Amino acid sequence: MTEPDRGPATAGSLLRAAREKQGLHIAALAAAIKVSPRKLDALENDRYEELPDATFVRALAQTVCRTLKVDARPVLDLLPPAASVVLEPGKGGLGTPFRERPARTEPGLSVSGVRPLVWAAAILVLAALVIYLVPAAWWSALLPAPQAADTAPAVGALPAPAPASAPVAVVSSAAPPPDSVLAPAEAAASQPRIETVFSAPPDEAASGAAAAVSGMLQLRCAEESWVEVRDGRNRVLLSRNVQADERVGLDGALPLRLVIGNAAATQLAFRGKPVNLAASTRDNVARLELP
């Protein structure tokens, strides 16, 4: 059985085929070259009108080819050419004498524009001299004496500030759809919940201050790593770069589908038990589904 004709190859199809051949997710490639996944998707699907210009398209294609270690020439030959600058042909022959064009007068540098600035500076200098030379007794006679406060502010009325070394936690939750009818336990588990905690400084962590997160899924990155987590309803719970020494706790409807860009530097726990990422990792990108 012959395969259907897919039409002539395009630059985007060549880039997509090279990326899929290496088993690299489009989001992981976008994080590696520091460009948004939307622009990379537009390039792979030949939607050049969504990108700034032809020069940007060719530069992005060269960057992708260099990252995937493939030859960029076949891809560049299929891309639209960059806009060229056409120089105005010179008038006259080689023997024509050169005459310098009169210089343009910038509006901001004209005499009429500079004169108000000079007057303003002179007035400021004159005012400073007057303030400096007038005796202090004159100012005390002109200005009213400050009135004493009726009551002194209470000491100790303000609450003590929180210690600076405490971990900072950010918790966000979203209610389930209004048309869904769930049991109380099921509804609590299906609500997406994200908790992020940054570790305390090393000198304070050694004294016993430890940062912890709660959630069905717990994730910690020793180095910066791109992470995407979707729940059973295909809602995006997390899609960003997780910073080094950052801990993230997630709750959502099962199953949870994960894509981790830097699996070697990521630790994962599901319902309190560690998850081995080695079995689901290829080219340091882990793809797994947790029931």
Alpha-carbon distance of 16 to 45, in angstroms, equals: 8
Quick check: 29 and 64 in contact, CB under 8 A? yes
Under the banding of pLDDT at 50, 70 and 90, the label for residue 210 is very low
Put simply, whether the predicted model's pTM sits higher than 0.75 gets the answer: no
The residue ranges of every structural domain in the chain are: 11-78, 188-290
| Helical (H) or strand (E) element with 221 | strand 217-221
> What are 227-285's pLDDT values in tens digits?
999 998 999 988 999 999 999 998 888 988 999 988 899 998 999 899 998 888 998 89
Contacts of 167 (CB under 8 A, 6+ apart): 197, 198, 199, 200, 209, 211
Residue 275: the pLDDT is 92
> What are 163-186's pLDDT values in tens digits?
544 444 444 444 444 444 444 444
As a whole number, mean pLDDT of residues 147-175 equals 47
Quick check: 229 and 258 in contact, CB under 8 A? yes
Under the banding of pLDDT at 50, 70 and 90, the label for residue 48 is confident
Helix (H, G, I), strand (E, B) or coil at 3: coil
Domain 11-78 superfamily per CATH: lambda repressor-like DNA-binding domains (1.10.260.40)
| Helical (H) or strand (E) element with 246 | strand 246-251
Contacts of 106 (CB under 8 A, 6+ apart): none
What DSSP line would sit under 15-74, residue for residue?
HHHHHHHTT--HHHHHHHTT--HHHHHHHHTT-GGGSS-HHHHHHHHHHHHHHHT--SHH
